[in-house]
Amino acid sequence: MFLRRLMGLFSLDMGIDLGTCNTLVCVRGEGIVLNEPSVVAVRKGTNEVLDTPDGKAVGLAAKEMLGRTPGSISAVRPLKDGVIADFDITQAMLDYFIKKVHGNRGLAHPRVVVAVPSGITAVEKRAVYNSAERAGARRVHIVEEPKAAALGAGLPIHEPRASMIVDIGGGTTEVAVMTLLDIAVCTSMRVAGDDMDEAIMNYMRRTYNLMIGPQTAENVKIQIGSTSVLEDELKMEVKGRDMISGLPRRAMITSEEVREALKEPVGQIIEGVLHTLEQIEPELAADLVDNGITLAGGGALVRGLDQVIAKASGLDVRVADDPLTCVARGTSEYLENLDEWGPALETDEDEY
Ligand code: ADP
Ligand code: MG
């Protein structure tokens, strides 16, 4: 252990979960060392990252600015919909996070594994690759998010047996069936946690003439969101702007109402899962009867989501331990085994 830590000093290897909502960095031998929102604040019309008295406005500092910026500044989520909306800003963000972790340990250049949404294009992958390289990485491996999520969840994906992961993030839901260290069938949907927030915003507007911001909506989802009847139904107060009077006010919303609002995005996620199941080979389908489905990503934490997916698919569904860190832990696992698992896991890199 001590020796490994010492070696770690000389070769700092990093696994990065570049998520649409959150970016996490795992360092070999140390676990998760950074966990921040994937948000950057820039001067409007430029790619210049905003400087604050406390340093660069990236991550947590920038998230607090979302929806609260004056005209001259914009706080952006460069990966919001699972595609890289802005290459330069993504690069600035990745650069900032890598350097923050690498910091003053700067002995050797790190090896970096970056997990990216599986729906991103080759050009976007290339951009991530270049960004990591420019931030000082010695070697860069790009891995698809569901593969990392499955590794992090401890699924036996190296076996000739199907494992299924549903990773519900902010901008995308990735559904994948894996066997022999590779993806057999995979669907990447642009429906995930953000859409649940939006559905809650729409509900408040339609039902209460109240406009609420995305952060408030996210709070409602986390505090009282559910997909099936709760033993003790919940309620909470929300604040926003009245659409008729134009003035700030408050309202109460119940968990039954939130459930109603979440029906559509949750229904779409379930459809995606069923659609993926329909595409797999019979032997793999047979394996899933025993192995079931594992949920990862922050969206997996919505109360009762596992139950509704189980009901719709007829399969066992479980939520991975600590679903928000699953992908990051998976990248770290990937790093550990780069050498042993060899080319089967490195194929992604061959493209570059
Ligand atoms: P990404 O990989 O896209 O960055 P994450 O896996 O970090 O996404 O998950 C972020 C999403 O999970 C957000 O939409 C967030 O609101 C949601 N989320 C986080 N915690 C909870 C919770 N306890 N209940 C419901 N949703 C949650
Ligand atoms: Mg993710």
72 vs 250, residue with greater confidence: 250
Does the beta carbon of 21 lie inside 6 Å of ligand 1? yes
For a mutational test of ligand 1's pocket, the pick from 175, 222, 269, 295, i.e. the residue with the most ligand atoms closer than 8 A to its C-beta, is 222
Tell me which residue has its CA closest to atom 14 in ligand 1: 193
Q: Which atom number of ligand 1 is nearest to the Cα of residue 324?
A: 6
352 vs 122, residue with greater confidence: 122
The pLDDT-based confidence of 5 (bands split at 50, 70, 90) is: low
The pTM of the full predicted model, rounded to 2 decimals, is: 0.92
64 has pLDDT over 90: no
Which tens digits make up the pLDDT trace of 101-112?
A: 887 666 678 899
Please give the distance, rounded to the nearest whole angstrom, from the Cα atom of residue 169 to the centre of ligand 2. 5
Please give the distance, rounded to the nearest whole angstrom, from the Cα atom of residue 176 to the centre of ligand 2. 13
pLDDT value for 203: 98
Does the beta carbon of 218 lie inside 6 Å of ligand 1? yes
Token pair recorded at residue 215: 């952060």
Mean pLDDT of the chain: 90
Please give the distance, rounded to the nearest whole angstrom, from the Cα atom of residue 24 to the centre of ligand 2. 9
Please give the distance, rounded to the nearest whole angstrom, from the Cα atom of residue 7 to the centre of ligand 1. 34
Which tens digits make up the pLDDT trace of 276-326?
A: 999 999 999 999 999 999 999 999 999 999 999 999 999 999 999 999 999
Question: Which H, E and C letters describe 171-219, residue by residue?
Answer: CCEEEEEEECCEEEEEEEECCCHHHHHHHHHHHHHHHHCEECCHHHHHH
pLDDT value for 83: 80
pLDDT value for 65: 87
**Chain centroid to CA 81: how far?**
11
Does the beta carbon of 22 lie inside 6 Å of ligand 1? yes
pLDDT value for 351: 45
Q: Please, which residues have CB within 8 angstroms of residue 217's CB and are 6 or more apart in sequence?
A: 197, 198, 200, 201, 204
- Three-class secondary structure of residue 348 per DSSP: helix
Q: What is the mean pLDDT of residues 331-337?
A: 90
Please give the distance, rounded to the nearest whole angstrom, from the Cα atom of residue 149 to the centre of ligand 2. 8
352 has pLDDT over 50: no
53 has pLDDT over 90: no
| H helix or E strand, kind and range, residue 251 | strand 248-254
pLDDT value for 338: 77
Token pair recorded at residue 46: 């430029």
Four-CA torsion 136, 140, 142, 145, nearest 10 degrees: -60
Q: What is the mean pLDDT of residues 239-259?
A: 97
Per the CB < 8 A criterion, the answer to whether 185 and 279 are in contact is: yes
198 has pLDDT over 70: yes
The pLDDT-based confidence of 345 (bands split at 50, 70, 90) is: very low
The count of C-alpha atoms lying within 13 angstroms of the C-alpha of 281, restricted to the half-sphere facing its C-beta, is 10
Name the phi and psi angles at 200, rounded to 5: -70, -40
Four-CA torsion 310, 197, 243, 224, nearest 10 degrees: 60
119 vs 266, residue with greater confidence: 266
pLDDT value for 11: 66
**Chain centroid to CA 321: how far?**
15
4 has pLDDT over 70: no
Please give the distance, rounded to the nearest whole angstrom, from the Cα atom of residue 289 to the centre of ligand 1. 28
For a mutational test of ligand 1's pocket, the pick from 17, 18, 21, 144, i.e. the residue with the most ligand atoms closer than 8 A to its C-beta, is 21
Q: Which atom number of ligand 1 is nearest to the Cα of residue 323?
A: 6
Q: Provide, rounded to the nearest whole percent, the portion of the chain with pLDDT above 90.
A: 69
Distance CA(126)–CA(337), nearest Å, equals 23
